[in-house]
Amino acid sequence: MKKYGKWIAGGLGWAFMGPIGGILGFIFGSLYDSMQQGENQYTQTQGGDFSLSLLVLAAAVIKADGKILKSELDFVKNYFIKIFGEENTEEKMQILSEILKQDIPVQDVCLQIKQYMEYESRLQLLHFLLGISNADDDIDPRELKVIFHISNMLGIDEKDYESVKAMFVKVVFGAYRVLEIRPDVTDEEIKKAYRSMAIKYHPDKVTYLGEEIQNAAKIKFQQLNAAYEEIKKQRGIK
């Protein structure tokens, strides 16, 4: 219990209140009770808040199709190893294992995240959830339905949802969807849209979550750039 307490107490803050706290409270018992007695001093998302939110929502997505795939668990594990290191990842995967055994109040959890987490962080959560679902290169419709439901409850704009989804689900004119534009727009409108999206998706938007999350956010930014380069190549834009 002590080794979990060291990681949790350092960064979860608001996550121990409300439904997310309830989920962890079921797991950690007395640790949750002691944390509930303290005041919530967090006014901005912390790295621990983000990673816990990801674990809870990841569990909801993983369970959406009625089965827990090794490829999905490996995706989560490899992601956490990449940004947090192997030691912290082992703890997080044990927490995920326990969360997967519970009924997750997705709506309540999402409302809590929406209340306390900045929009850019919620966009990053959406990106990771789609990545988890696509871990076996085949997004199950039931998982996609849950992710869409989560996106709505997190207050993600529908255009932003379609933009991030297009980074994983291959559709006609997918590159245009990533930039949130129609295929019939002018070259100048394409450049303007890219500049706007580059500001929205820039990794600097999540610097407050720590260097690890910022580095992970670069993947989404790279996918945006790839979509823009694809359109430029198709149109011969310089």
Instruction: Identify whether the C-beta of residue 40 lies closer than 8 Å to the C-beta of residue 12.
Output: no
Q: Does one domain contain both 152 and 176?
A: no
200 and 117 belong to one structural domain: no
How far apart are the C-alpha atoms of 233 and 238, rounded to whole Å? 9
Q: Are residues 62 and 152 in the same domain?
A: yes
Q: What is the CATH number of the domain that holds 220?
A: 1.10.287.110
Domain match, 94 and 26 both: yes
Q: Are residues 135 and 45 located together in one domain of the fold?
A: yes
The span from the CA of 135 to the CA of 40, in Å, is 36
What pLDDT does residue 157 have? 95
Residues 121 and 148 in one domain: yes
Q: Which residue has tokens 């199950």?
A: 140
Q: What is the pLDDT of residue 24?
A: 58
The pLDDT value given to residue 11: 38
- DSSP state for residue 17 in the 8-state scheme: S
For residue 80, the enclosing domain spans 1-156
Residue 61 near residue 143, CB atoms below 8 Å: yes
Same domain for 39 and 84, yes or no, is yes
Q: Which two tokens stand for residue 88?
A: 């912290």
pLDDT along the chain (238 residues), means of 10: 39 49 51 38 51 85 86 84 79 85 85 86 90 78 92 95 90 86 92 92 81 79 91 88
Same domain, 24 and 48: yes
Query: Is the domain of 104 the same as that of 192?
Result: no
CA angle 90, 68, 212 (to 5 degrees): 40
From 141, 156, 171, give the residue that closes a domain. Answer: 156
Of residues 57, 67, 76, the one with CA closest to residue 121: 57
DSSP characters for 85-120? Answer: -HHHHHHHHHHHHHHTTS---HHHHHHHHHHHS-HH
Determine whether 198 is exposed, middle or buried from the number of CB atoms within 10 Å of its CB (0-12, 13-18, 19+): middle
From 156, 188, 214, give the residue that closes a domain: 156
Same domain, 48 and 166: no
H helix or E strand, kind and range, residue 200: helix 187-201
Query: Which of 133, 156, 179 is the last residue in one of the domains?
Result: 156
* pLDDT at residue 195, rounded to an integer: 93
Question: Largest Cα–Cα distance of the chain, in whole Å?
Answer: 63
Q: Do residues 99 and 59 touch, judged by C-beta distance below 8 A?
A: yes
> Are 15 and 103 members of one domain?
yes
User: What CATH number does the domain containing 129 carry?
Assistant: 1.10.3680
Q: Is 130 left (phi over 0), alpha (psi -120 to 50) or beta?
A: alpha
Distance of CA 66 to the CA centre of its chain: 21
For residues 73 and 170, give the distance between their C-alpha atoms in angstroms, rounded to a whole number: 23
Domain count within the chain: 2
- CB neighbourhood size of 140 (10 A): 17
The overall pTM is greater than 0.85:
no
Residues 116 and 146 in one domain: yes
